[in-house]
Amino acid sequence: MSKQKKLVLLDPALVKPAVVAAFAKLDPRVQWRNPVMFVVYIGSILTTLLWLQSYQDQKLAQSGFILAVAVWLWFTVLFANFAEALAEGRSKAQAASLRSLKKSTWAKKLTEPRHGTPWLPEQAENLRRDDVVLIEAGDVVPLDGEVIEGVASVDESAITGESAPVVRESGGDFSAVTGGTRVLSDWLVVRISVNPGESFLDRMISMVEGAKRQKTPNEIALTILLVALTIVFLVVTVTLLPYSTFSVEAAKSGTVVSMTALVALLVCLIPTTIGGLLSAVGVAGMSRMMQANVIATSGRAVEAAGDVDVLLLDKTGTITHGNRQATSFLPAPGVAQARLAACAMQASLADETPEGRSIVVLTQKLGFEQALVGTTTKVPFTAQTRMSGIDVLQPDGSVRELRKGAVDAIRRQVEARGGSLPAEVARAADEVARRGSTPLAVLDRNEVLGIVELKDIVKAGIKERFAELRRMGIKTVMITGDNRLTAAAIAAEAGVDDFLAEATPEHKLKLIRDYQAEGRLVAMTGDGTNDAPALAQADVAVAMNSGTQAAKEAGNMVDLDSNPTKLLEIVETGKALLMTRGSLTTFSIANDVAKYFAIIPAIFVSTYPTLAALNVMNLASPSSAILSAVIFNALIIVVLIPLALKGVRYRAVGAAALLRRNLAIYGLGGLIVPFIGIKAIDLLLSAFGLV
């Protein structure tokens, strides 16, 4: 998402449409989706009808009071609508720049799926999955796709907000291109992976503007609780009318409670505060993810992030900087360093990773570079073999196999051919691993030549962040393809709870399933096709925008910044969402207590004068008490809108400490604030003679 200016909480550009939308949401077809506020909606209609009846009957003394109650009940509904509309408006504003990217563009559709073949102009809207297009410097990528040939720099600022161009190339984990981005140099041959209307951009727009937002499991559970409370109070309120009638007849004094007072009592007792803000909190959660440049495919994923208790983190790029560089060559006994370096460089010619390039650079720097003689065939790295290299067809017809890879992978290769790994090489690899570096073994045919040492650096502050997660009960697990010694050294330095070394896609998948079998929720990041099975299995799966299409389709979130560390921020945002919902629920239920003391004495004091003792706030009159409670009930929604949209500030504390803090601030606050608020409103009403 393009990084725009930060939206002010109550920006006039958002407030005006939200006000209009608040009135539009008075449609009964919209209101009934929120059962709690639907009760308030029905109460507003009923009191309005009661006012019309009293006005026609010339009962002017009652008419003014009923009108005031009706107006504030309508305000209660409108304020709840406004909160939801404002949250939706903020999300829509965040998507404004994305809409501008949806332009009709022309593409160069190739007749054959390779560079150099003829092409025909075709509009992007007419392209289909598996079509192959040529994208040259200055061209806009028509639709999402996979690079099958070429390498080029791509401007993705319209999507990610980052001005620096990124490299996209065929093969590997950086082959995906996004529709709406622009190629700055060179050319790409891209196979379209989606049909029109199914692109990443389309999904982003539909999510952030999503009127069809599905409620999350926790939101549904809370809604059921709120409905249950509403039904209980509805039953209680309904029974008060015959009880009041009986009491008046039995006592031969007082007046029967009015329908207006009963409606006011019901509205004030049901959890209208959280009922009015619940939807806004959910929409705002999606919005906060957007602000973090993360696109969630569902609110369920955002919420699940708050319940995660196991984080699977790739070592490279997440825990370490990921720019491992070759620093030294450690030859086996009887092998010259020059030969080891030359073979390592030759085996790295097909390796376009930063590690592979660093081996070439180090060899050139030491002056050990040697040319290959013969026809070469590249052997790419795979997660299964954990090796890469080159096959050289020599003039005598023999094939020379040069390999570079993980020590255990090289060992298996040698042992499968009847050889063995020299003990000196194994010791050198162990020493490198104990230093926290990564050892790579080099193989020439069946001869192990030695070790290449790669160094990486643990990110500053990462250990403290893991300690925070540990205090919250979240377990961190480092995933790496390194051997156990290297993994253990880096895990100890980074402060993770556990690690998985020599990881393959199968190992990752098994690890996730094992944790889930224990009843735990697992989150992980990934960017490659080999990560797709594990991403699909994880409860929260964050795919990198720079990664493959398979990874993005398997994940339920996409990080536009392609920053693996973002997983920590996502978990914090999910926790903040749950904390916000819990805090508002606690406050909403707690503030009902004050309303008991305001309304119950007011409606029964004429029949039972002793109930005047419950008027602890010393409210001016029964009418003032009821109206003050109704006004407070409406205004508190407005006061809490900023909290619902911004969320409760995330704190890295355990569940018990969080519960104590929640009860102390929002529980106790929910008890005290209404007493102060209702009394203040009562004083104002009395001062101006409005009741």
Question: What's the DSSP call for residue 414?
Answer: H
Confidence of residue 5 (pLDDT cuts 50, 70, 90): very low
Contact 104, 140 (CB under 8 A): no
- Phi-psi map region of 499: left, alpha, beta (phi>0 left; psi -120 to 50 alpha): beta
The answer to whether the beta carbons of residues 422 and 444 sit under 8 Å apart is no
User: What's the rounded Cα separation, in Å, for the pair 326 and 285?
Assistant: 43
Q: 263 falls in which pLDDT band (50, 70, 90)?
A: very high
Identify the pLDDT of residue 483: 78
pLDDT band at 684 (very low <50, low <70, confident <90, very high): very high
pLDDT of 135 reads 93
Instruction: Name the phi and psi angles at 609, rounded to 5.
Output: -55, -25
Among all residues, which ones are annotated catalytic? 314
Question: Which residue in the block uniquely carries the two structure tokens 């065929």?
Answer: 170
- Between these two residues, 119 and 504, which has the higher pLDDT value? 119
Task: Please determine, for residue 250, whether its predicted confidence score (pLDDT) is greater than 80.
Answer: yes
182 CA to centre of own chain: 27
Q: pLDDT value at position 40?
A: 96
Beta strands at 522-526 and 540-544: parallel, antiparallel or unpaired:
parallel
CB 465 within 8 A of CB 318: no
Is pLDDT above 90 for 6? Answer: no
Helix axis angle for 299-307 and 217-251, nearest 10°, is 90
Residue 326 has φ and ψ, to the nearest 5°, of -70, 130
C-alpha span between 351 and 388 (Å, rounded): 7
Query: Using CA atoms, how far apart are residues 648 and 250, in angstroms rounded to an integer?
Result: 52
Q: Minimum mean pLDDT among 51-60, 161-170, 397-406, 503-512: which range?
A: 161-170
Under 8 Å between Cβ of 116 and 150: no
Cα 423 to chain center, whole Å? Answer: 48
- Per-residue pLDDT reduced to its tens digit, 468-490: 888 878 899 998 877 788 888 88
The beta-strand segments (E) located in 394-501 are 399-406, 438-444, 447-455, 475-479, 498-500
Q: What is the pLDDT of residues 528-558, one digit of tens each?
A: 777 788 888 888 888 887 677 777 778 888 8
Measured over the CA atoms of residue 203, residue 205, residue 207 and residue 210, the dihedral's sign is negative
pLDDT band at 212 (very low <50, low <70, confident <90, very high): very low
Angular region, 397: left φ>0, alpha ψ -120 to 50, beta rest: left
**610 pLDDT more than 60:** yes
How are beta strands 132-136 and 119-123 bridged, if at all?
Answer: unpaired
User: Are 389 and 350 in contact, with CB atoms under 8 Å apart?
Assistant: yes
Q: Which long-range contacts (CB under 8 A, 24 or more apart) does 518-521 make?
A: 520/309, 520/310, 520/475, 521/304, 521/307, 521/308, 521/309, 521/310
Residue 662 has pLDDT above 90, yes or no: no
Least confident of 129-138, 173-182, 634-643: 173-182
DSSP class of 664: I
pTM (predicted TM-score): 0.67
- The percent of residues above 70 in pLDDT, for the chain, comes to 90
Q: Print burial letters for 496-505: b (CB count within 10 Å at least 16), e (below 16).
A: beebbbbbbb
